[in-house]
Structure 1
């Protein structure tokens, strides 16, 4: 456990078990140098506890980098709740998590993520103020999608010479809340959509409403396209999958898309431009962070599209130094984080 903390650079790792509700939770805090750690709460099944710990640690680090690059006064953290085979009361389970979070005295602020909803955050909010994206706060997914769309335009300009998406073939992997909202914006911009999702109903909806072309999930990565937009779970880009890619650029919503930075170098060597995930997908974090910071729509709305400008900065450094944008983004984020040390 300590080896993992040192590898990822975690400040703290908290674990809790509540036999009454079945709660088994991990809260990873990567950094509080810029402010309290803010990050989503996942409610998923994991093959083993080690996988859950590593997911929490990597997500927490990504949230620190995301907040730093977005210019937010927050650090990064993540809660992972191991989904049991059976739970008597989901509400009681998340209330127990709320008590755990409250016991950290503001070190960590939670929000929705994969497997959780605003209703779950409402349960947490019964026992702590250190929660956002509740029902009253609204769904952050639309803001994430707006930021991804701005990032795709910046990526298209950097790689293809124009931010006009009309006629481009864009493959969207995953049609959840963010993926579908992004697909709608891409359709309005005139892009030709290739889509994949394990939910046949979502695929059918995309075909009927957006004129999308369905592609089997296992075949999408090898399908020719201009831009690939991963919008599902992370870890899809490894040495084997990158070798199959037939796209000019990658720009999507999924967290932790790269298995390692060596894979980013592989993309660079193949001439595939990679938009660092925690830079392009920060729209949702911006919304929940500024909202928790008493920001209103007038503050949040203009902040999200600036994601494209930040990506353009990263791409510029990467081109000048002939290095992967992933390595450039890490360096810039770490400079923002560690230069604040006193």
Structure 2
């Protein structure tokens, strides 16, 4: 059902639709948020997370879905922004019944929202959701999908980092540069491999010792430090947050500045802890590659899946992240604004231009 909630309308976020989903039998409690369908059906992942409250879940889904509008716009996709959150512990509460119940709610939107994996959901989960809904991507190859999207997510971050290198040092290679990666899960570990192949040195950290050991097994030449604070102090030229959001707060910006870090470019979503951080980075002379631009390789992959997946075609589109990031840096310089502001402006221009051709997408 769609609820008219003052918690939504009072925020003036511009969301088109927010759907609250409840199935008592399976324990499903989910929220689907459609921020914009101006460019086409909304596309964004389903997050399964033990939120402290319903309001915290609503905060997250509204923020994430808005971010997907901008991400999809700058990725050149004919998709608007949407997101879903399922409230619960995925290790304890996830079940086939619950995922299929969620799939029925998602299908009721008749294609206005296309979903995929996110935190707490995986390819196998999307296969289950797809048993109830045809508007599901991120499925396994056995079920006609593209599988793990971390390969192209890491590839896109690497393309954004190449644009940073060009802006800072006049060359598109990271050869001879030292990159610190915070979080070496699927994306961070693959990013490390790309950087090492390009001639960079890499230092990593992760809260999971197992993740660190896995990346060291594949890439024994990487250095390891205890935490993100030590990573910033490890003499890195580029800092790459690839774990949870909010990695760039006031203290981190001060540490980046004090330790001569030249750029931030990573795969994590929502890296800016609060409004104003982008200006602090800019004022400190730290080049920030907007997260939703450089980490869009994953959504490019799942969008391609809708047309019969071609890795080569999706990779060619993800390679354009380099040019988009370069354009953002150029616009930021011309307008005298931080790159994050320039990225929003470019996205809004595309949305406004295409929206003149169509109205709200009704499926």
| Length-normalised TM-score, structure 2 | 0.89
Partner SS state of residue 199, structure 2: coil
Cα deviations by residue, 1:270-302 (Å, 9 ceiling, x for unpaired): 000000111111111111112213453342221
Contact 1:4 1:54 in 2 (8 A): no
Summarize the Cα distance change of 1:239–1:142 in structure 2 as closer, same or farther, 3 Å threshold.
same
Aligned to 1:104: 109
Aligned to 2:250: 239
Mapping for residues 13-28 of structure 1, pairs under 5 Å:
13-28=18-33
Which range moved further: 161-170 or 4-13? Answer: 4-13
Partner SS state of residue 258, structure 1: coil
Q: Is residue 152 from structure 1 mapped to residue 166 from structure 2 by the alignment?
A: no
Select the residue among 58, 61, 66 that pairs with 2:63: 58
Aligned to 2:350: 336
* Cα distance in 1 for residues equivalent to 2:319 and 2:230: 28
Select the residue among 116, 119, 128 that pairs with 1:123: 128
* Cα distance in 1 for residues equivalent to 2:133 and 2:342: 37
Summarize the Cα distance change of 1:307–1:21 in structure 2 as closer, same or farther, 3 Å threshold.
same
Select the residue among 40, 44, 61 that pairs with 1:39: 44
Q: Is residue 212 from structure 1 mapped to residue 197 from structure 2 by the alignment?
A: no
Partner SS state of residue 354, structure 2: coil
* Cα distance in 2 for residues equivalent to 1:222 and 1:141: 24
Mapping for residues 273-312 of structure 1, pairs under 5 Å:
273-312=287-326
Contact 1:26 1:53 in 2 (8 A): yes
Contact 1:261 1:326 in 2 (8 A): no
Partner SS state of residue 337, structure 2: coil
Contact 1:21 1:89 in 2 (8 A): no
Contact 2:204 2:231 in 1 (8 A): no
The number of equivalent residue pairs is: 342
Q: CA deviation at 1:92?
A: 1.5
Partner SS state of residue 21, structure 2: strand
Summarize the Cα distance change of 1:332–1:140 in structure 2 as closer, same or farther, 3 Å threshold.
same
Q: Is residue 318 from structure 1 mapped to residue 329 from structure 2 by the alignment?
A: no
Cα deviations by residue, 1:144-183 (Å, 9 ceiling, x for unpaired): 1111111111111112322221221101111111111111
**Unpaired segments ≥5 residues, structure 1:** none
Cα deviations by residue, 1:112-147 (Å, 9 ceiling, x for unpaired): 111111100011000010100101212111111111
Q: Is residue 229 from structure 1 mapped to residue 240 from structure 2 by the alignment?
A: yes
Summarize the Cα distance change of 1:217–1:44 in structure 2 as closer, same or farther, 3 Å threshold.
farther
Cα deviations by residue, 1:171-210 (Å, 9 ceiling, x for unpaired): 1111111111111111212211111111101112323432
Which range moved further: 290-299 or 243-252? Answer: 290-299
* Cα distance in 1 for residues equivalent to 2:327 and 2:90: 46
* Cα distance in 2 for residues equivalent to 1:56 and 1:13: 9
Q: CA deviation at 1:244?
A: 1.7
Cα deviations by residue, 1:193-246 (Å, 9 ceiling, x for unpaired): 111111101112323432211122242453231001111111111223211213
Summarize the Cα distance change of 1:272–1:119 in structure 2 as closer, same or farther, 3 Å threshold.
same
Partner SS state of residue 79, structure 1: strand
Aligned to 2:360: none
| Length-normalised TM-score, structure 1 | 0.95
Q: Is residue 8 from structure 1 mapped to residue 13 from structure 2 by the alignment?
A: yes
Partner SS state of residue 15, structure 1: strand
Contact 1:12 1:29 in 2 (8 A): yes
* Cα distance in 2 for residues equivalent to 1:314 and 1:89: 40
Q: Is residue 268 from structure 1 mapped to residue 282 from structure 2 by the alignment?
A: yes
Summarize the Cα distance change of 1:335–1:230 in structure 2 as closer, same or farther, 3 Å threshold.
same
